[in-house]
Structure 1
Amino acid sequence: MKILIYLIFVLLTSSQYSFAVIKRHDIPAKNYEVAKPPEYLVDMPHEGHGVLIAPQWIVTVAHTIFYDYTGKTIKVGNENYEIAKVVIHSGYTKPDESLFKGDSKPLMNFFKKRDDIALVKLSSNVDDIMPIKLYEGDNEQGKTITVHGRGATGNGLIGEVAETKKLRTMNIFQNVIEVADGNWLSFKFDSPSNALNLEGMHGSGDSGGSSVIIENNRSYLVGLSSWQSWNGDLSLFKGGLYETNAYQVRISSYFKWINTVIKSN
């Protein structure tokens, strides 16, 4: 049950489960495929993603940090780097086991109140990759985002297929930010009649994936894939269905915290 609920975003997939992201059931899976992901996107140890935002710093969601990663290596571009330090936001906490039983509302409230963000410092600078710029504005609502991930697959009709997470195929999806409130951005996985051509959601294994907008021909990081909502009994949870809402960490809300941590370290 815990792994089921904790799948936290929306999912990447194909009609025969051979491609990642949760996508529209009526669009060819190959349309979501990515031959080469952006260089600033980093695979975290074990699962999930991070994003290079400064020569020596990666931002990710805190729940991708399963233990102290200090001293482990992480691949950025074509090179391996040692992790020098991990800074988890003081507002991040792990849910009690009791929250994963019964009605979903207490767990959803818990997710919404916590600060699911962390920074990873590398032992040396990444000199051959341009970090992505952080979005500072507060007008994210209505903007179209492009999101990368290599998590579980599925589509809006059948939802996420958990076994496909091991495929780790990189795809993209797009969506429109409907709500920008406090520390969160949220969007809905619309059914085809109201959807974008590459409409989709993040799924299990996509945590920390980059949510990007383009302004004046420049890419900006606006969010990080974090979790998706569910109404009702948690035993009935099925991720990645049409009309489900997904939540991303709102980078603009943490802009000052990010810069304070980097400057103080």
Structure 2
Amino acid sequence: MKKTISALLIIIMSFSLMSLIVRHDVPDERFITLGKKYPQICHLSDGESTLIKENWVVTAAHAAILLNEELKKGETPQVTIDHKQYDVEKIILHPNFHISETFIENDIALIRIKGNITNIPFAKLYDKQNGKGKEITIVGSGDFGTGLTGPQNWDKITRAATNRIDEIDGQWIIFNFDNPESENTTELEGVSGPGDSGGPAFIDVDNVRYIVGVSSNQQDNGKEGVYGVTEYYARINFYKKWIEKNIE
């Protein structure tokens, strides 16, 4: 079993647990300030998650695998929400989740915590079929860098950045890291980098916060987090019925 888990850990790390990499020409303080507006972000030991009900968070399955193994061994993994720690009670990986050295699919999981969070408004599940072209806000903490450098250091500061959905493809929402000269770039453009898989992509509609996707993986052609990489987030609408069935 130990050998199996070690091999699994290597595969998981090859998919880069994600954090934020941002455009180089915008002061860091702006990304930090934006990050403070998203209290729904929840921190795992090896990733991020999002509060979607008083006692449920959603994350990437590959960020929850090792937590699930800890739970099976009788250990008590925790989720940090608003600087407070909550014990994990149950983890549900998507039944069709699959990960290998080169492939990942159905990368989504649910975590039930002990106790109810009543002081933070949870994010609602996005229910629109087509989000192409919409601006999203992604949130994470961990390795930080810019589109020129890629990931540089992990300072554990929560940041948020923006991007625009370039494509919807079944279970995925897909977007690129556009450089500042591109006509497609956003004012606070950013993508994920090493550190925080499972982090959210949000859209606010009429003062209601929706989670649109969950950070899964990145196509980087050998150099992660630089301008031109492509992000893949598990699309919440694709899994909405499965999520609702399990958290009702």
- Cα distance between partner residues in 2 of 1:121 and 1:48: 16
Matches of residues 1-265 of structure 1 in structure 2 within 5 Å? Answer: 5-7=14-16, 9=18, 11=19, 21-34=20-33, 36=36, 38-44=38-44, 46-65=45-64, 66-68=66-68, 69-70=70-71, 71-95=76-100, 99=101, 107=102, 110-111=103-104, 114-161=105-152, 164-165=153-154, 167-194=155-182, 195-231=185-221, 237-263=222-248
Q: Which runs of 5+ in 2 are unaligned?
A: 1-9
SS in structure 2 opposite 1:249? strand
- Cα distance between partner residues in 1 of 2:67 and 2:200: 22
Tell me how large the CA RMSD over aligned residues is. Answer: 1.9
Partner of 2:4: none
Please identify which structure carries the higher strand content: 2
Q: Give 1:136 shift.
A: 0.8
Q: Give 1:173 shift.
A: 0.8
- Cα distance between partner residues in 1 of 2:37 and 2:203: 15
- Cα distance between partner residues in 1 of 2:198 and 2:67: 16
- Cα distance between partner residues in 2 of 1:141 and 1:8: 25
The residue identity in structure 1 corresponding to 2:16 is: L
Partner of 2:6: none
Q: Give 1:160 shift.
A: 2.0
- Cα distance between partner residues in 2 of 1:256 and 1:193: 40
**Number of aligned positions between the proteins:** 230
SS in structure 2 opposite 1:206? coil
SS in structure 2 opposite 1:32? helix
SS in structure 2 opposite 1:203? strand
State percent identity of aligned pairs. 33
Q: Give 1:38 shift.
A: 2.2
Which stretch of structure 1 is more off in the superposition, 57-66 or 121-130? 121-130
The residue identity in structure 2 corresponding to 1:192 is: P
1:89-143, CA deviations, whole angstroms, 9 ceiling, x for partnerless residues? 1111231xxx3xxxxxxx2xx12xx111110112222222221111011121110
Q: Give 1:4 shift.
A: 6.6
- Kept after mapping to 1: 8 A contact 2:36/2:159: no
Q: Which runs of 5+ in 1 are unaligned?
A: 12-20, 100-106, 232-236
- Kept after mapping to 1: 8 A contact 2:16/2:195: yes
1:130-180, CA deviations, whole angstroms, 9 ceiling, x for partnerless residues? 21111011121110001111121221122223xx13x11111110000001
* TM-score, normalised relative to structure 1: 0.81
- Cα distance between partner residues in 1 of 2:194 and 2:98: 19
The residue identity in structure 2 corresponding to 1:7 is: S
